[in-house]
Structure 1
């Protein structure tokens, strides 16, 4: 086997590896985007709940839930 052939095989293997890694990184980026959107929604909901609790009547003035 010639040096050129070995180099071509090594290059082909390296290109396959780069393609595989690129797919993994692309998939991870998409998952991270989804997770970031979910975290933003959760933070927004938590802030809304906190604001609702702050504007609600004090607990001493509220009727128990079974009333």
Structure 2
């Protein structure tokens, strides 16, 4: 190789290495994002279940308003 080709070849190799590292990073971030979305979905299901349980307990615990007047009227 001539001396003018060596810097270009070196730069190309450096760029190829950089692209390979970026591709690996993208794969890792994609996997992390997938796991985060799965966790969010599980948390949303749990929150919905807790909300339903809370509403059921609230319905049982809330005293009903009396329809008749108290005896002192």
Unaligned runs of at least 5 residues, structure 2: 1-8, 65-73
Matched residues, number: 56
List structure 1 runs of 4+ shifted beyond 4 angstroms: none
Residue 32 of structure 1 corresponds to: 40
Q: Which has the larger radius of gyration?
A: 2
Judging by fraction of residues, say which structure has more helix. Answer: 1
Name the CA distance, whole Å, in 1 between partners of 2:40 and 2:20: 30
1:18-66 deviation per Cα after TM superposition (whole angstroms, max 9, x unaligned): 100110010010011001100110011001100011257xxxxxxxxxx
RMSD: 1.5
2:19 pairs with one of 11, 32, 35: 11
TM-score by length of 2: 0.71
TM-score by length of 1: 0.77
